[in-house]
Structure 1
């Protein structure tokens, strides 16, 4: 391999892309959990407001805390997911650029001899 052979850098970029993809998947899971927390908080607040199941003021405060926590977590993870997606796109563009610089050659199959 020559000094200007970018295969090592391509391998490193692919590892980074995999790490970014794992981080993006974690963000998606947290986004789903945040949405579930928001919905649960709304449901608990409705139960507390209607006085069902003996829910009182502490349930109402807990539901508000659950909703606010879900909203904060949702916003944070959506922002992180956008940044991670941008990093993935940049890394993929860099990888494509490096691959296009490699002098690839077409390999043809050898003719088959029939016996």
Structure 2
């Protein structure tokens, strides 16, 4: 494999890492939204059970659905985030190995002469 091929492959891997980082960030946002849904549903269920706002059975069922939906969404996104982080780690390790195979040259600083 030539050095240009390695450079192209490293560039492709960096693009992949960037795309995976965006997926991870999106998962983090969904995880936060899921936690908010779980908390909101639990609070609404507590309010309904205590009868504080005079809400009925529909609010109780809605709050239960909100909690369950939040739990499912949370679990799914946590799993996806773990898989994405593993993929990022693998891609970074591959990138490091490829960079290690390139014959890098040390560039030394030379003093500049003033004219």
Indicate the residue corresponding to 1:43 in structure 2: 43
Where in structure 2 are the equivalents of 1:1-115 lying within 5 Å?
Answer: 3-5=1-3, 6-114=6-114
Determine the C-alpha separation between the residues in 2 that align with 1:108 and 1:88. 33
CA deviation map 1:29-72 (0-9, x unaligned): 00000000000000000110011111111111000000000000
Determine the C-alpha separation between the residues in 1 that align with 2:19 and 2:90. 14
- The Cα of 1:4 is off from its aligned counterpart by 2.3
Off by >3 Å, runs of 4+ in structure 1: none
Determine the C-alpha separation between the residues in 2 that align with 1:21 and 1:112. 42
How many residues get paired?
Answer: 113
Determine the C-alpha separation between the residues in 2 that align with 1:50 and 1:93. 54
TM-score by length of 1: 0.95
Determine the C-alpha separation between the residues in 1 that align with 2:49 and 2:58. 11
> Once superposed, what is the RMSD of the aligned Cα atoms?
0.9
TM-score by length of 2: 0.95
Gaps of 5+ in 2: none
Determine helix, strand or coil for the equivalent of 2:2: coil
